[in-house]
Amino acid sequence: MSRIFEPTRLGALDLANRIVMSPMTRDRAGPDDVPTELMATYYRQRATAGLIVTEGTQPCPAGKGYWRTPGIHSAAQIAGWARVAQAVHDEGGRIVMQLMHVGRVAVIANRGFAADVIAPSAIACPELVPGPDGVPAACAAPRALTAEDLPALADEFAQAARNARSAGIDGVELHCASGYLVNQFLDRGSNRRDDDYGIDRARFPAMVVAALAEAIGADRVGIRISPGNPYNAMDPSDPAETFAPFLAAIDGLGCAYMHVLDMGLRDFDTLAFVRANWSGPIIANNMLTLECAEALLANGAADAVSFGRPFIANPDLVARFKAGAPLAKPDYALLYTGEHRGYTDYPAMA
């Protein structure tokens, strides 16, 4: 049997197989950013994955930048996530929540409430983000965080992790990729500070990971990175210089895993770099085929592998892989809209 179907353990998380469902924004949260019964159905349908990583979830109001993304900072949101966790656990699955604070990648109209737009430095994200009507809109100008703001912000992440655990979620994954807040601190283009948090750009990201580890146990904390990813105006020019200090700062904490979005860089072996700088388990991600995923597990480049879009149209992806069955293709027009259409209406194979 291929290693991909073997059970494994990532920190405190026992996985029935090494197939992970990667986080994907789907924009189906209800009023007040509360997870819905439809979301519970969506995740339940995909619970045969060894591990589900939820869509990016804002740890606090200022963390929201996109339309209809869920939160984990109110009692109603916690209750909504409890229904999701129960649905997944009822099917024998495991689920962790990705904590995603957008920082400067925020369109105010997407929020529906007043909240600060914050970033390491007062530099606006030049990229456009879809607004409530789907039309791309400019990101708001952020306020530069003060050094005094940062411990309290780390505490907000920690409280979000505690909220996730109180909802029955098995752990959290900190989004340190794709140009969002934690990545903004690591990146020299978005972090122009001249204080200790600019001289050592890994200082605040490491503070957040440590706060999460203290809140719920390091063995229930994963981290997602994407070295060399230019998304949301990050500087891709020197991924080792950007991420090596961060990996060194958190490696000794004993976190559950490192989830690596491999950009397939021509002159930089991302997975080899992470393996050389990180002693814990690695989940490899980004446009993997089954054959490529099996090779990464066989040669030790990764300990688990994650799939995103294949899980959208194939809720039974694990069974299809085992059977060698063809994969259905998602309706890309319904990735972020349609309620149940393009969300929970993809059938399992006959």
Active-site amino acid positions:
180
Among 126, 148, 153, CA closest to 139: 126
Determine the 3-state secondary structure of 171 from DSSP: strand
Q: Are β-strands 128-130 and 136-138 bridged in parallel, bridged antiparallel, or unpaired? A: antiparallel
Cβ atoms within 10 Å of 74's Cβ, excluding its own: 14
CA-wise closest residue to 222 among 175, 275, 278 = 175
Taking the C-alpha atoms of residue 76 and residue 312, their distance in angstroms, rounded to an integer, is 26
Q: Can you spell out the DSSP letters for 205-247?
A: HHHHHHHHHHHH-GGGEEEEE-TT--TTT---S-HHHHHHHHH
Question: Rounded CA gap, 160 and 239, in Å?
Answer: 29
Q: Rounded CA gap, 200 and 108, in Å?
A: 30
Which are the contacts of 98, defined by CB distance < 8 A and separation ≥ 6? 23, 53, 54, 55, 56, 57, 172, 173, 174, 175, 224
Alpha carbon of residue 39 to chain centroid: 17
Residue with tokens 């980004």: 286
Which residue in 322, 294, 310, 285 sits closest to 173, CA to CA?
285
What residues are paired with 21 via a beta bridge?
Answer: 52, 307
